[in-house]
Every structure is written in structure tokens, then in C-alpha cells.
A and B are shown apart, each in its own frame.
Chain A
């Protein structure tokens, strides 16, 4: 009897495979100690706003929309969201390599594109899960500090902020996902990018256009007074252009990450 080679099973369709990876990754990401740390970072403004409501003399407090603007523009968009993205997105593949589980994932009949897309989708959902409630809660805790009259005027700002936060998560996430598959140790380059490169947004001329944060900042209407160089050289870029650039960063980042991930050979440390 001749030993016939058993035909390989057909690959799982892209969407089904991506959904399976998404389900698996979501379980690992949302209910983990890492997420608890990030939840602490992303929900800190809610605790600060609560403290403010309880302790501060609201009659002589700054305008609520200014405080909410400070939380959105300074806390979330400039610092916490990029950090959370760095935290989660660089780990999309690195976690599997570090945990030595990448072999099991890659030996399944699923395409690498579906693995990356499933994991990225899980990252976006986790990021949104941790971020959006913080923004909404901050809005309702801070904006009506002098009463609910006039609250409606700022509702468009809330909706816009939620959208911008989602877009920022996608853009930074794609960029850091690329960094995560490109480098073995992406943490320091990622931090250097956030602390160093992104500071170009505070300089004059065209330099802010070379950063991600300047595009993100331009999309919200809050312009809190800064504490440093940014006070002199704040630039607001056109809204349409900003959306286009952030979408392009997301697509190019993901495409680049896929390009590298699809060819990369993973040799696990012994």
C-alpha cells in the first residue's frame, strides 16, 4: 500500500479566522493584569473629576468645559492614549513570542493577515472599552459644575472627542503594531518616539506635520493653555487633512506590520 500524503486542510476563511483570533485575543487582553494597569491610567481622570466635585469650591472653579477640555486634550489625546497604544499594540505579536505561543498560532490553518487583523481589532475594542467610559464620565462630572444649563451646547464636543479618541487609538495602534513586529524590543524606541519625536508638534513651521499628535490635537476644539514651548508655537491643522492623515497612518501602519509579519521567521529563545 503506498503511503499517500494526506492533503492539507483548506485554510479557514479570512473573516472566520480573524474572528476566532479576535475572540481569543479579547479574552487575553480585557481580563488581564495588564489591562488593570491601563484601566488605572485611562480611568484616572474620572477619579480626579470625582475628587474635584467632592472637594473643590465649585462656585469659584474654572469653567467646566475648560477642565473637561484639559482632560481630553492634555490627558487622553496627548499622553494616556499614545501610552496605552504603545502598551497594547507593541504586544500584539510580542506577547505570543515572549510566551512562546506563537508556534501554536502560526501552525494553525489561518492566514497571518487574519491573525494580525483579529489581534488589532481586539486591541481597538479593548482600548475603546477602557477609554470611552472615562471620557463620557469626565464630561458629565466636569462640564455641568455650574449647573446643567448650557450642557447641550457642548454635546457636539463630546461626540467629536469620542470619535477622535477612537481614531487616535487606531492610528497610534497601527504605528506601534508595526514597531512591535519590526523590532525585538520596541519599548524604548516607542517611548523615544512619544517623548522625543512627538515634541516636534510644539515647534513652528511644518515640523508638527511630521508627528501624529499634531493631527490628533487639531481634530478637537479644546485648546488648553500649555506649560511649555507649545504655548508659543501651537499649530492647528485642517480637519479634513487630519482625518485623512490619521486614516492613512492606520492603513499604512497595518499594511507595513502585515508585510513584515507575513515574512518574518520567529526563532524562539531557548
Chain B
């Protein structure tokens, strides 16, 4: 074999090996049952869910943003000491992921939703802590399908009772009692749960795993959003085309990064929406003049549309956010302009 042939063969063998390893990872991945970034347990959420939000707590708490604000908001490990002693839980250490699922309220009903918390819980200590507060906080508990459900405020005149249940040693569900019971029923095979909601499952599949936080919402949720926004040029309103779905992912380390994908009804609507965002960006750029903070803000966004989808990318370094905050404070402190006589 000549030297050239050897180089070609070695190169293709390396690529083949790499692809084989990658395919192996794809086939053997333990998280295959998951949908996008959502663990398999999330499929027990109610089928009527219209939006799901996910937060990777480990990434969130290690981000510069959390570190900066934790001390101010009393979220330091010392502050959690009392809670940890009582319940065995230190949120920043023991919670891995939070899923918030919900649906807008029906015409005259309350909002619906559930929260799934994944982590490592001292189940005994946590249960004792809840039961110890039982009388004081009107907590009762019952067993449904083998799961202990703690109900808060049962029988009170105002509002619906809330509930909490351990789905297993690592998963906790919270929410209105009816929703928690529905989640338990879904988990036991009594209902199909989120898997029945084909549209939301499809959207979840498009979310990029590995983000610090993410959100998906379908048409029902978005139809309640305002269709008009104030025009950036001032004077009047601008109509926005309705969105069929919205997927947002974001990271907080080393800077704030957001990626939003909205699906409009058709390509023309997507173009219109993209143009609105571009217009706003261009306006910031023009208004920024030689102000580096505003210039940076304008260039921190990128917009593009792909068929009926609009993608908005934003990368906001924390220094830029601090500069903008300082500018806002300066503007507030400045005396209002004299009216023209």
C-alpha cells in the first residue's frame, strides 16, 4: 500500500470508528426513553398540559448569575441550614432538575399545573417534617395506589387543596390535589398522560438537551398572548402574527444565552415576525449611536427564519447586563426634561 493510500485508509478508519462510537452512544443511551431533555417520568404529567418548563438546578446554581444574587436573596448554604436540619433537603445540592407543567385556566376555573422535582431526597425526614406540621398547616395524608399523598388545606373554603407525593425516592410531584392524583394514575398506567399530547411531545423532541433551562408551549398557551405590542418607533401599536408554538432554551454560564424558536402559521407570518425583531434590533443599533453598551446589545441578537419558523438567538454577557442596568439607573436618577414652552 502506498503512503497516500495508507493516509486515506487511516483517515477513513478513524472517521468510521468515530461514527461507530457515536452510533453506539445513540443506541445504548440510557436516557432514550426520555423525550428531548425531559426524563421519562415527565410523561406521567397530565395530557392537558399546554406548556412545560425545565430547569437544570445544578447548572443554574453554578452559574455566575446565581452566585451573584444568591447572597443578596439569602440563598447561601448557611441560609439553607435550618431547612436541611428539618427536612434533610438542601435545594442547591440535592435537587437536580425541576419540571413545571401547566395549562392556562379554563374560562371560569383556576390555573392547572404540576411540578416534578428530581433529586436525592431523605424521604423519611421529609415525610416526618410534613407530618409534624400537619395540624398547624392543615395537612392530611392518604394512600392512593400505594403512594402517600400529602394534602394541604383540604376542606378550606377558599382555593383548592394542594398536594405533594413521592413518585419514587428521587422524584417528587407537587400541585393541586387533582393534578397530583392524575399524575399518580398516569404513572400507574391508568391514563396515557403527556404521551397522548402529540403536539407537545413533538415540541419537546425539538428541545436541545444540555441547556440550563428550557420551555415549550403550544398554540393554546400562545393564543392568550397579546397580538399587539407598542411600536418601537413610538406612537401606536404593531400587530404581531400569532404563534403556533414556542420553544426556548437558555444557558447562564459563562454568559446569558437564549435561543427561541417560534412557529408561525405560515412563512409570510414568520417573515413578518422576524422583520419585527430585526426592526427592533436595528432601532437599538441606530439609537445606540456610539454607545458601546447599546451597540453590543443590538449585536447580541440574531434573527433568522426557516420556513414558518423564526429563530432568535441572544448572547448577553453579564458585563453588558450590568452596563445596561447602570444606564437604566442613571436614566431614572436624571431629572425629567423640561417641557418645551
Chain A residues near B311 (CB, 8 Å)?
Answer: 223, 234, 236
Q: B178 in the interface, Cβ–Cβ < 8 Å? A: no
Residue of A nearest to B311 (CB): A223
Chain A residues near B259 (CB, 8 Å)?
Answer: 223
> Which A24-79 residues have a C-beta within 8 angstroms of B?
26-27, 29-31, 59-66
User: CB distance A223 to B25 under 8 Å?
Assistant: no
User: CB distance B23 to A155 under 8 Å?
Assistant: yes
Q: A193 in the interface, Cβ–Cβ < 8 Å? A: no
Chain A residues near B278 (CB, 8 Å)?
Answer: 232-233
Identify A137's interface contact among B3, B18, B64, B210, CB under 8 A: B18
Q: Report the minimal beta-carbon distance from B292 to chain A, rounded to whole angstroms.
A: 15
Interface 1/0 per residue, B4-34 and A, CB below 8 Å:
1101100110110011011101101101100
User: CB distance A150 to B15 under 8 Å?
Assistant: no
Q: A230 in the interface, Cβ–Cβ < 8 Å? A: yes
CB-CB under 8 A for A152 and B25, given A125-B8, A159-B19: yes
Chain A residues near B15 (CB, 8 Å)?
Answer: 132-133, 136, 162
CB-CB under 8 A for A231 and B26, given A149-B31, A150-B31: no
User: CB distance B32 to A152 under 8 Å?
Assistant: yes
> Which A216-242 residues have a C-beta within 8 angstroms of B?
218, 223, 225-227, 230-238
User: CB distance B25 to A151 under 8 Å?
Assistant: yes
User: CB distance B313 to A63 under 8 Å?
Assistant: no
Chain A: interface secondary structure?
Answer: helix
Residue of B nearest to A126 (CB): B8
Chain A residues near B313 (CB, 8 Å)?
Answer: 223, 225
Q: Report the minimal beta-carbon distance from B301 to chain A, rounded to whole angstroms.
A: 7
CB-CB under 8 A for A234 and B11, given A137-B18, A149-B31, A150-B31: no
Chain B CB within 10 Å — which of A126, A227, A231 has the most? A231
Q: A261 in the interface, Cβ–Cβ < 8 Å? A: no
Q: A140 in the interface, Cβ–Cβ < 8 Å? A: yes
Q: B197 in the interface, Cβ–Cβ < 8 Å? A: no
Interface 1/0 per residue, A223-266 and B, CB below 8 Å:
10111001111111110000000000000000000000000000
Q: Report the minimal beta-carbon distance from A255 to chain B, rounded to whole angstroms.
A: 27
- In the bound assembly, the distance between CA atoms of A130 and B10 in angstroms comes to 11
User: CB distance A133 to B11 under 8 Å?
Assistant: yes
Give the size of the chain A interface in residues (CB under 8 angstroms): 50
Chain A CB within 10 Å — which of B211, B282, B302, B303 has the most? B302
CB-CB under 8 A for A234 and B302, given A139-B18, A223-B311, A223-B313: yes
Chain B CB within 10 Å — which of A30, A226, A237 has the most? A30
CB-CB under 8 A for A159 and B31, given A62-B257, A129-B8, A218-B306: no
Q: List 17 A-B contacts (CB under 8 A).
A: A27-B4, A30-B7, A129-B7, A129-B11, A133-B18, A150-B210, A152-B26, A153-B208, A155-B25, A158-B22, A223-B313, A225-B313, A232-B303, A234-B303, A234-B304, A236-B307, A237-B306
Interface set of B (CB-CB < 8 Å, partner A): 2-5, 7-8, 11-12, 14-15, 18-19, 21-23, 25-26, 28-29, 31-32, 36-37, 62, 64, 208-211, 251, 253-255, 257, 259, 278, 281-282, 299-307, 311, 313-315
